[in-house]
Homo-oligomer: A and B are copies of this chain.
Amino acid sequence: MHGLMMNYPLTLAQILEHAHRIHGSKRVTTLLPDQTFHSYNYTALYERVQRLANAITQLGVIQPGDRVGTYASNTYQHLELYYAIPCIGAVLHPLNVRLTAVQLARIVREAEDKVIFVDGAFVGQFEELREKIECKQIVHFNPNSTHTGVAYEQLLSEAEPAYSWNIHDENWAMGLCYTSGTQGEPRGVLYTHRSMFLHTLAVNQADVFGLTEADVVMPLVPMFHAMAWGLPYASMFAGADIVLPSVKPVCLADLIAETGVTVAAGVPTVWAKVYPELSKRKQDISTLRRLIVGGEAMPPTLIEAYEKNLGVEICHAWGMTEMSPTGTFSKLRGTHQNLSDAEKWRVKAKQGRPIPGVELRLAAETSNGFTKLPWNGEAVGELQVRSPWTASRYYNIEPTTEHFTTDGWLRTGDIATIDVDGYMQIVDRAKALIRSGGESISSVALETSLLKHPSVLEAAVIGVPDEKWGERPLAVVALSQRIDEDISDDLKQHLSVEFPKFWIPDRFVVVDEIPKTSVGKSDKRAILGMFISTGNSDLP
């Protein structure tokens, strides 16, 4: 028997309308490239989003599900697009500006973006992509006279001011975000209004991000990366002020002090770098209450430094583009308050517990499927996930058991433990994904490319610890013939054609033979051991 409740679809238009009606005076502040601020309130944003909705429609984005690309950093225009595109029934497709033009060209072709909105700051670097794609409609933010394409502000000024949101079904696609690509090829994840609405409610639980109306939220995570962890939606549903640094601030501590940031979110690399600046305490950063840290694990010593010396709570969040992206959140339990400091940091160094709505399981692959492993903090298995905001398949790719189990779970590719309290800890990566500065680098993709070089016989790429970036790729190669001169520059040149700069290994080590596992695959653990345990000077 069905219940008798309203048939009320869960859509992003509800979030926008709520923000507008209830929190119209809350502010969105963007740090511009010239280090000045642009600031306006939700009401002004709302009015521009309505105009933008009409403008995008005028550009021919009229079919539900039409894809619209963005090539932009964290700015108020990007935030406007985060709402206007989905709320007309189209699909927001943020392009990761850190990928190469070759990678992005493939993605844009696959996504068939009808329009691409380009941030003025990126116009130069966008040109290389533009030459490779057929998308004829390019709209520039803050364009100057040398830029081609249509000007954003002109579009808005010419557009009708009122728009009625046009989403008829909560299962309509609202966003398309490509992964960094664990197998060398980024894959598209197609979110629904329903999944993003639910993700928003879930992360705003008091025990998760816990954003409130009194917060000032600063996402340092780029809006082209995993939907900026859902913060553009979560912040506005909560009615928080938002600070968007479109560029690296001259001084992050100054920015926090000036704007009164209470919650900031980003990868550990950023927090490691800014710690000395913040610890000088020349500025009043007492408003800052919490850092949400994701992308990779923050070292326990840094967690301790933030919590003890700066009084800033550090919370790990773990997730994937495939998960909208939040899966777990690490906060101490009430009973943990009695632990010693050392024990506390050990708990906090884990990736945390599944947030309400997310199911985790640890699986061991067997000849006929998977067996479930216990949550005892010791059993190590593949982490699998299920939730209302997890992808069931990739865009334009038939689902395979490599990524999705036959009983409906996502295979994360991470190897983890889970303790009795539900705290999950990543211990390894099934796919040898290297995490550098919060971005993923695929060792498999680099290996595949290296093997195309005429002099390379065997290749293995591993991630080695790096103080600044968390991890950096190190390439180990066996050559097809003896070469006496250093082949590093040659190989770097070779990889640069295909991959972005940050993917290129810092060091290349030549060996006679790559160590193999029993099934003849590269033995990454053994290779890593060669460098880690011997303190090999070849380490970057």
Contacts and interface: CB of A to CB of B under 8 A. Distances in A.
Interface of A: 1-8, 10, 14-15, 17-18, 21-25, 64-65, 91, 169, 171-174, 189-195, 198, 201-202, 204-207, 209-214, 237-239, 331, 333-334, 353-354, 356-357, 359, 375, 386-395, 408, 410, 420-422
Most chain B CB neighbours (cut-off 10 Å) among A205, A331, A390 = A205
Q: Which of A5, A65, A214: most chain B Cβ within 10 A?
A: A5
A422 B204 CA distance: 20
A393 B4 contact: yes
A10 B387 CA distance: 10
A8 B386 CA distance: 8
Given A5-B190, A8-B388, A213-B333, 11 more contacts: A2-B173, A4-B393, A4-B394, A5-B191, A5-B392, A7-B392, A17-B359, A18-B354, A23-B422, A201-B357, A205-B206
14 contacts: A1-B172, A2-B169, A2-B192, A3-B171, A3-B172, A3-B190, A4-B189, A5-B191, A5-B195, A8-B388, A18-B359, A22-B354, A204-B356, A213-B333
A13 to B, nearest CB: 11
Nearest to A175: B3
Contacts of A331: 213
B22 A421 contact: yes
A201 B198 CA distance: 9
Contacts of A237: 356
Nearest to A216: B334
A10 B18 CA distance: 23
Contact of A334 (B2, B5, B214): B214
A53 B144 CA distance: 68
The SS class assigned to the A binding surface is loop
For the complex of A and B, list the 7 residue pairs with the smallest distance between their C-beta atoms, beginning with the closest: A1-B65, A3-B192, A214-B334, A206-B210, A3-B173, A22-B422, A201-B201
Given A205-B238, A333-B213, A192 B5 contact: yes
B386 A5 contact: no
A211 B207 CA distance: 8
Contacts of A189: 4
A354 B387 CA distance: 27
Given A205-B238, A357-B14, A391 B4 contact: yes
Contacts of A213: 207, 331, 333-334
A485 B21 CA distance: 58
Contacts of A17: 359
Contacts of A211: 206
B201 A212 contact: no
Contacts of A239: 207
A6 B205 contact: no
B207 A205 contact: no
A110 to B, nearest CB: 14
A444 to B, nearest CB: 24
Contacts of A198: 10, 201
Contacts of A389: 5
A91 B173 contact: no
B6 A387 contact: yes
